[in-house]
């Protein structure tokens, strides 16, 4: 592993905490050291308190920060002295532990202190770095892991056997460090967990992490266990989008709520799932118990074996819950990682972020398993330890808190014409309500529109059947299925009276506003049919359907035909639990189409001011894209749960419609 320390760059970070920020970011850049908010760093600073007394403050990365992007405000300042005293006690309950930790924080605005904070108090050095290096975990995860770590590091480190989080691990570290650390000690290895290094400067602690990790990488290299050989495997029978969305439906049914599912078919994943010994390798448990929260105790092996997975998880819970005693609530028994020789690696989660985390963690897990296997044999911790982490009190407490998840959590919406206007507002309305959203647009800007896990922007000409099939495939491989469809894309050509209307123009409008929606509805139907909560379609119609105007024959006819198509779909799809409702908006003026100039000329045409023109309806209100988008989202929500085939005007009240 290369050191990223840069003398010039480092000089820009002045002061103890700033230096702490700099090397924390260096550690955070290395995915094989820390993943998704894992790992933490600290610095001990001498400060004078309100009463003029000197005290040592331990600043530790707080909960919710990422090392790669941490700022000084991301560190939680904690009084060192009460933590040192706490570790002298012989027994401390989890509740007392958390209380003591919270009570030691000196700044009420600081983030919550990490549960690993006291481990930093154990080590007397100014700077402490804690990471979870993959190379070290691979060496630990073998039958003779401890001897190998000893052989690799000699007296450079003290070794702490695996203990569960909270007081037990902190107490063990304190005891072993006090008894065994010597002049040469530069680190502490926590078996099946990670590495601590320390130093008097930020650079010293950081370079020691790099040094110890490099030694682990070299050790694996010397034992021909570093480079992972990926044999070329025969191309599997690729599952169709229907197979994948059915699998997501079944997994969601086991969970009791909708889950997202991402499918990975990269060379590492495919080589892993097709190994002859995949059953042995994958069913032992996670590389570190920390991961159990994201990946469950083991992956589902073979997409058809879901019922067995569920039964095994229920058995695992019953066995260990009765051993531990107390009141434990079982987590949902649905897998978070699914290994299938044909499908590849499918990962599930309630949100797109959770799904990505599970995917990244399992990718590292496969590498650790393969390296440990090449070195000797993969050996995970006993199931008891994994269970204790999964059902650790702080994690269980989160479950008892009534959680207010947004209403579309775990569901997927697809919006057409999503790069601007009502379509873009729909993307935002569904995201706010917790859905993962796929936005389609012919404008390439759609791919860059939003940088977030739960949005996928795809360029798509909706008039191409092949393009529609392609985006549905991508939707299912990225998020697992399709629950909601928003038919928004449409064109509104300039006014043209019938006597001048060319057939080409008429057909062009019909192709986009009508035919494309037929294809999309037809091809989305099998996916909507297996949506865990029933499929929903929101059609953006037009005020022109109930109240057409002169000069818009093609547009009005296309929207009226779409309206009729939606009504027939409501009749045909009702028995599949799919709801389809239409909303009829009047013009919205907060889009690029309506420049100041256009508005002025339209207002003049009616003999009105611009403001009067915008509000020429019964309620005298101006309509925005967001109003329409919010209604489209609500049409898909529980408020309209027993309604299908409806047409809802959203126009401020129109005399001709009323
Ligand atoms: Zn840790």
Kindly report, residue by residue over 434-461, the tens digit of the pLDDT.
Answer: 999 999 999 999 999 999 999 999 999 9
CATH of the domain at 139: 3.40.225.10
Q: Last residue of a domain, which of 388, 422, 447?
A: 388
Percent of the chain with pLDDT over 90: 83
Torsion sign (Cα): 106, 108, 114, 115: positive
Q: Are residues 59 and 140 in the same domain?
A: yes
pLDDT of the residue at 619: 97
User: Is there a single domain that holds both residue 250 and residue 145?
Assistant: no
Centre of ligand 1 from the C-alpha of residue 7, in Å:
28
Cα distance between residue 393 and residue 383, in whole Å: 17
- At residue 545's C-alpha, the angle toward residues 542 and 551, to 5°, is 90
User: Would residue 34 count as lying in a domain?
Assistant: yes
Pick from 222, 255, 280: which residue ends a domain? Answer: 222
Residue 392: the pLDDT is 81
Where does the pLDDT of residue 338 fall: very low under 50, low under 70, confident under 90, or very high at 90 and above? very high
The string of DSSP letters for 483-537 reads -EEEE-----PPPB-GGG--HHHHHHHHIIIIIHHHHHHHHHHHHHHT-TT--EE
With bands split at pLDDT 50, 70 and 90, how would you rate the model's confidence at 401? Answer: low
Rounded distance, CA 442 to CA 379, Å?
A: 51
- Overall domain count for the chain: 3
**Cα(116) to centroid of ligand 1, in Å?**
7
Domain end, chosen from 164, 188, 222, is at 222
- Note whether 460 and 536 are same-domain residues: yes
Compute, in angstroms, the gap from residue 34 CA to the centroid of ligand 1: 9
CA 495–ligand 1 middle distance (angstroms): 66
Q: What is the mean pLDDT of residues 507-527?
A: 97
Strands 54-61 and 579-585: what pairing?
Answer: unpaired
The CA 149 to ligand 1 mean position distance, Å, reads: 18
User: What does the block give as tokens for 586?
Assistant: 């009047």
Residue 217 shares a structural domain with residue 261? no
573 pLDDT band (50/70/90 cuts)? Answer: very high
Tokens 């009616």 sit at which residue? Answer: 606
Per-residue pLDDT band at 594 (split at 50, 70, 90):
confident
Work out the mean pLDDT of the chain and round it to a whole number: 93
CA atoms within 13 A on the CB side of 2: 3
- Residue 167 CA, ligand 1 centroid: distance in Å: 14
User: Phi and psi for 403 in degrees, rounded to 5?
Assistant: -90, 135
Q: What are 112-138's pLDDT values in tens digits? A: 988 889 899 999 999 999 999 999 999
Has residue 157 got a pLDDT over 70? yes
Pairing of strands 455-459, 436-441: parallel
**67: CA distance to ligand 1 center in Å?**
13
**Smallest Cα–Cα separation from 242: which of 467, 573, 481?**
481
**By C-alpha distance, which of 97, 137, 140 is closest to 121?**
97
Distance 38 CA to ligand 1 centre (A): 7
CA of 329 to the centre of ligand 1 (A): 25
| pLDDT confidence band for 411 (50 / 70 / 90) | very high
Regarding whether 259 and 194 lie in a shared domain, the answer is no
Q: Kindly report, residue by residue over 483-507, the tens digit of the pLDDT.
A: 999 999 999 887 889 999 999 999 9
Q: How far apart are CA 548 and CA 215, in angstroms?
A: 76
The number of residues making up the chain comes to: 658
Give the pLDDT of residue 406.
95
For residue 317, give the 3-state DSSP assignment: helix
Decide if pLDDT at 545 tops 60: yes
The answer to whether residues 508 and 471 belong to one domain is yes
- From the candidates 127, 153, 362, 555, give the one annotated as an active-site residue: 555
DSSP character at residue 249: H
| Average pLDDT of span 82-98 | 89
Cβ neighbours for 648, distance < 8 A, ≥ 6 positions apart: 581, 582, 583, 584, 631, 635
Q: How far is CA 145 from CA 176, 223, 224, 280, 616, in A?
A: 18, 14, 16, 19, 77
Query: Is 401 part of any domain?
Result: no
Please indicate, yes or no, if residue 605 is contained in any of the structural domains. no
CA dihedral 305, 308, 309, 310 (to 10 degrees): 130
555 is catalytic: yes
Supply the pTM of this predicted model.
Answer: 0.93
Same domain, 444 and 486: yes
Whether residue 406 lies inside any domain: the answer is: no
* 151 pLDDT above the threshold of 60: yes
In this prediction, residues 93-116 reach a mean pLDDT of: 90
Give the closest residue to 34 by CA, choosing from 209, 279, 211.
209
Residues 416 and 565 in one domain: yes
pLDDT of residue 37: 74
Give the burial string for 84-114 (b: 16+ CB within 10 Å, else e): bebbeeeebebeebbebbeebbbeeebbebb
Which residues, 6 or more positions from 146, have their beta carbon under 8 angstroms from its beta carbon? 140, 159, 161, 191
* pLDDT grade for 402, boundaries at 50, 70 and 90: low
Q: In which domain, by residue range, is 171 found?
A: 7-222
Q: What is the pLDDT of residues 307-319, one digit of tens each?
A: 999 999 999 999 9
Alpha carbon distance 338, 329 (integer Å): 24
Query: 116 and 27 share a domain?
Result: yes
Residues 38 and 172 in one domain: yes
Residue 526 lies in a domain: yes
Separation between Cα atoms, residue 144 and residue 154, nearest integer Å:
15
Give the CATH number, domain containing residue 551.
3.40.50.720
pLDDT of residue 528: 98
Same domain, 357 and 444: no
Other CB atoms within 10 A of residue 454 CB: 20
Q: Which residues pair with 160 in a beta bridge?
A: 190
Same domain, 379 and 435: no
Distance 580 CA to ligand 1 centre (A): 49
Residue 376 within any structural domain of the chain: yes
Residue with tokens 């070794």: 159
Asked if residue 612 is part of any domain, the answer here is no
Q: Which residues, other chains included, contact 402 with Cβ-Cβ below 8 Å and sequence gap of 6+?
A: none
């Amino acid at each position: 592993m290369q050191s990223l320390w840069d003398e010039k760059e480092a000089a820009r970070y002045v002061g103890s905490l700033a230096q702490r920020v700099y090397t924390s970011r260096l550690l955070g850049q290395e995915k094989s050291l820390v993943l998704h908010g894992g790992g933490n760093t600290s610095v001990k600073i001498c400060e004078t308190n309100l009463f003029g007394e000197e005290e040592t403050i331990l600043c530790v990365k707080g909960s919710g920060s990422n090392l790669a992007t941490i700022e000084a405000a991301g560190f939680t300042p904690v009084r060192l002295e009460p933590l040192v005293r706490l570790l002298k006690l012989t027994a401390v309950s989890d509740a007392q532990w958390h209380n003591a930790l919270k009570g030691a924080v000196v700044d009420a605005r600081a983030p919550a202190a990490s549960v690993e904070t006291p481990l930093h108090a154990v080590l007397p050095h100014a700077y402490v770095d804690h990471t979870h290096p993959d190379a070290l975990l691979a060496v630990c995860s073998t039958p003779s892991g401890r001897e190998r770590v000893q052989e690799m590091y000699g007296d450079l480190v003290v070794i702490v056997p695996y203990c569960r989080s909270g007081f037990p691990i902190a107490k063990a570290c304190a005891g072993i460090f006090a008894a065994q650390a010597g002049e040469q000690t530069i680190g502490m290895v926590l078996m099946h967990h990670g590495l601590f290094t320390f130093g008097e400067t930020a650079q010293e602690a950081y370079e020691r992490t790099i040094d110890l990790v490099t030694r682990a990488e070299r050790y694996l290299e010397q034992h021909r266990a570093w480079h992972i050989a990926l044999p070329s495997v025969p191309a599997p029978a690729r599952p169709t989008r229907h197979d994948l969305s059915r699998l997501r439906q079944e997994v969601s049914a086991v969970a009791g709520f909708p889950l997202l599912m991402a499918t990975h078919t990269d060379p590492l994943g495919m080589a892993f799932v097709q190994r002859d010994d995949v059953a042995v390798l994958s069913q032992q448990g996670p590389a570190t118990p920390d991961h159990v929260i994201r990946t469950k105790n083991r992956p589902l092996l073979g997409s058809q074996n879901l019922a067995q997975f569920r039964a095994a998880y229920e058995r695992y819970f019953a066995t260990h819950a009765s051993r531990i005693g107390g009141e434990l609530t079982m987590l949902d028994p649905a897998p978070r990682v699914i290994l299938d020789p044909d499908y590849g690696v499918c990962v599930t989660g309630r949100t797109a972020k959770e799904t990505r985390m599970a995917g990244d963690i399992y990718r590292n897990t496969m590498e650790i398993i393969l390296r440990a296997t090449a070195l000797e044999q993969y050996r995970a911790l006993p199931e008891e330890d994994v269970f204790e982490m999964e059902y650790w009190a702080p994690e269980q407490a989160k479950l008892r808190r009534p959680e207010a998840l947004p209403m579309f959590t775990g569901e997927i919406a697809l919006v057409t014409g999503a790069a601007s206007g009502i379509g873009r507002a729909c993307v935002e309305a569904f995201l706010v309500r917790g859905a993962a959203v796929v936005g389609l647009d012919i404008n390439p800007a759609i791919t860059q529109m939003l940088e977030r896990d739960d949005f996928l922007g795809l360029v798509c000409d909706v008039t191409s059947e092949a393009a529609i099939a392609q985006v549905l495939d991508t939707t299912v491989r990225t998020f697992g299925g399709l629950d909601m469809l928003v038919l928004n894309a449409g064109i509104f050509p300039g006014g043209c009276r019938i006597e001048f209307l060319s057939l080409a123009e008429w057909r062009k409008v019909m192709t986009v506003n009508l035919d494309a929606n037929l294809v999309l509805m037809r091809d989305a139907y099998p996916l909507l049919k297996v949506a865990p909560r029933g499929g929903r379609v929101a059609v953006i119609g037009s005020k022109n359907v109930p109240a057409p105007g002169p000069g818009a024959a093609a547009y009005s006819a296309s929207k009226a035909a779409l309206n009729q198509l939606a009504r027939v779909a409501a009749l045909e799809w009702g028995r599949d639990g799919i709801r389809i409702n239409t909303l009829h908006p009047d013009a919205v003026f907060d889009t690029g189409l309506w420049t100041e100039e256009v508005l002025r000329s339209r207002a003049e045409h009616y003999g009105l001011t611009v403001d009067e023109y915008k509000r020429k309806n019964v309620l005298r209100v101006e309509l925005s894209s967001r109003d329409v988008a919010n209604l489209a989202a609500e049409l898909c929500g529980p408020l309209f749960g027993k309604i299908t085939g409806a047409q809802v005007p959203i126009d401020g009240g129109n005399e001709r419609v009323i």
